[in-house]
Amino acid sequence: MGVVLALSAVIVSCAAISTPTPSTIGRETRSAASNEIPTREQGALGMVVRIGSLEFVVEVAADSDTQIKGLSGRESLEGGTGMLFVFENEKRFRFWMGRWKSH
């Protein structure tokens, strides 16, 4: 079973977090190369993902309801944060930023 992890395009524009901050201390950390699927018990909200030397605090959209909503309706997104989408199948997925209010 292939697992595809897709980072929201928002992460690309976010500032890197080089050291742990009070908001990230005590949160789960997973390598981006890990094959482990995050679960709510593992701290799906506020998970830290490392890509090289960069760290991002992400929310995990692991179910279809969360994936459909995504970041819709939010006024802003804190620097160094984003949303991680977990899919059961390896294929191409389309993303859009509908109702995203931040510019």
pLDDT digits (tens, 9 = 90+) for 40-68: 444 445 788 888 999 888 998 888 888 88
Q: How many residues does the chain have?
A: 103
Q: pTM for the full model?
A: 0.51
Q: Which residues contact 53 (CB under 8 A, 6 or more apart)?
A: 16, 18
- How does residue 87 score in pLDDT terms, banded at 50, 70 and 90? confident
Amino acid present at 4: V
When pLDDT is averaged across residues 61-86 and rounded to a whole number, the result is: 86
**CA–centroid distance for 47 within its chain:** 8
